[in-house]
Amino acid sequence: MRLYYLLLACLSLLLLWEAQDLIKFHSAFPEKSDFSVYYSAVERLLNDSATLYEFEATLNFAGYTYPPLSILLFVPFALFDYYPAFILFQSVIAVALVVAIWCAIRIRQHIFSEQIIDHSKSALFALLVLASGPAFLTSVSGQVNSIVLALCLGAVFLGMRQQPLLGGSLLAFACWIKIYPVLLLVAMLSIKSLRRTAFFSIVTGLLLPIAMLPLVPLVLYDQYFLHLLPIMGGKIESALSNQSITATVVRLSLPIDQWRAWLRIDVPGWIRVLNASVLVAVLAMFSFTRIFRSPDVLLVTLLALAFIPLIAPLGWAHSYLFTIPLVAYCAVYCEQFAIRLVAVVAWLLLLVPAYSTLDPLRQFGELVVEVLYFRYFLAAGVVICGATLWAYHTRNLSPTG
């Protein structure tokens, strides 16, 4: 076991060393960060709220693509000039990830309060999440994933601490930043201890747009939900960094020599139906199967979050930060060796940037490289299957540790 910890620690340090080039690049050119899109959106909102969305840029996935209310997250940063605001936002991203990990560990301690807590496992769980590929990609890209993750896990933690109103508010805001945490909301509706938190989240989610009308007018909701979202939902960017279900199926339908190309494609109707069917199946799984009876609420929570980059049509590599906590949780806490081994292998696959074409591996055969093009999708899918089996078998069992 000590050798296991040492190996993972060495791999994590290797990733830190490899990531320095990305960090240096984005620090030298912060205007290339996604934060520049958020900052420009706030400036448009404050000048003329009706111009938040630049239709042409947004439809090309280059503009602001989040729901209207999400802009409130970025307004405070507009109080600073761009470069200080960029550094502050990077700091918030890092702090949010630490908060998310702390919430996960505290949730587990709350669930298994009668057992002796193994702090070395908690430390290993934190290490695997912090030193993961998606964590670094989120940071250097200036993305909001860690903030949304912290809000979601904070909501569950507060819900279990009998603070459903505050927890529901956090989850409601997370859903307004990125729509897909609704998956967690559905799972929480089926869990007795979190049901009140979920109800408060729904109520708060409905009231927030009304309360924020002076800053976020109704016209923005019309633009986003009735115009932008339907059009964006029918388009996809097929690139190696996009490894959602939709993007993966689209890429598989293309000639192999186009798998590495950056293409903007209209998604065929049958693929949209396929993705919607998977979404319905996932929602049904949390609502009508015995998974919601699992005593390990954290496992169910992380399982719900792990689906986000697969269901979202734009499942960029950095969005796999929502899957990494499940991978780490299975690797550290699962008592079944097969699932633990699968999780460790998945973590290693997620270390390699999704945009890498893996040219050095061609000496082992084209088939190996072609399969590994889909490594984020495959890694997440296999771990989700293993975690689902684990959740099914914990109905009347309590994990140790």
The pLDDT profile of the chain, 401 residues, written as one tens digit per residue, is 555 566 666 666 555 554 554 555 445 544 567 888 899 999 999 888 888 887 766 666 667 889 999 999 999 998 999 888 988 898 899 899 999 999 999 999 999 877 777 788 888 899 889 888 888 888 878 889 999 999 999 999 999 999 999 999 999 999 999 999 999 999 999 998 999 999 999 999 999 999 999 889 999 999 898 888 887 777 887 777 888 999 888 888 888 777 777 778 888 889 899 999 999 999 999 988 888 788 899 999 999 999 999 999 888 888 999 999 999 999 999 989 999 999 999 998 888 777 666 666 666 666 667 777 788 999 999 999 999 999 887 755 444 34
In the chain, the amino acid numbered 200 is F
Pairwise CA distance, residues 54 & 224, whole Å: 11
Pairwise CA distance, residues 247 & 215, whole Å: 35
pLDDT of residue 400: 39
pLDDT of residue 257: 74
pLDDT of residue 203: 96
User: What is the DSSP-derived secondary structure letter of residue 132?
Assistant: S
In the chain, count of helices (H) and strands (E)?
20, 2
Decide: 384 and 278 in contact? Cβ < 8 Å: no
Report the predicted TM-score, pTM, of the whole model to 2 decimal places.
0.89
pLDDT of residue 388: 93
Nearest residue to 202 (alpha-carbon basis) of 239, 169, 156, 230:
169
Nearest residue to 311 (alpha-carbon basis) of 349, 356, 279, 265:
279
pLDDT of residue 230: 81
pLDDT of residue 211: 93
Going from the C-alpha of 259 to that of each of 272, 287, 363, 369, the distances in angstroms are: 20, 36, 19, 11
pLDDT of residue 301: 96
Instruction: Kindly write down the DSSP assignment for every residue of 144-168, as one continuous string.
Output: SHHHHHHHHHHHHHHHHTT-HHHHH
Nearest residue to 375 (alpha-carbon basis) of 389, 393, 388, 356:
356
pLDDT of residue 401: 40
Coil, strand or helix at 163: coil
Decide: 140 and 22 in contact? Cβ < 8 Å: yes
pLDDT of residue 399: 43
In the chain, the amino acid numbered 240 is L
In the chain, the amino acid numbered 106 is R
Pairwise CA distance, residues 385 & 392, whole Å: 11
Pairwise CA distance, residues 209 & 188, whole Å: 22
Pairwise CA distance, residues 95 & 99, whole Å: 6
Nearest residue to 26 (alpha-carbon basis) of 131, 137, 134:
137
| Ramachandran class of 61: left when φ > 0, alpha when ψ lies in -120 to 50, beta otherwise | left
CA atoms within 13 Å, Cβ hemisphere of 363: 1
User: What is the DSSP-derived secondary structure letter of residue 223?
Assistant: I
pLDDT of residue 323: 96
Percentages helix, strand, coil for the chain, rounded to the nearest 5?
A: 75, 0, 25
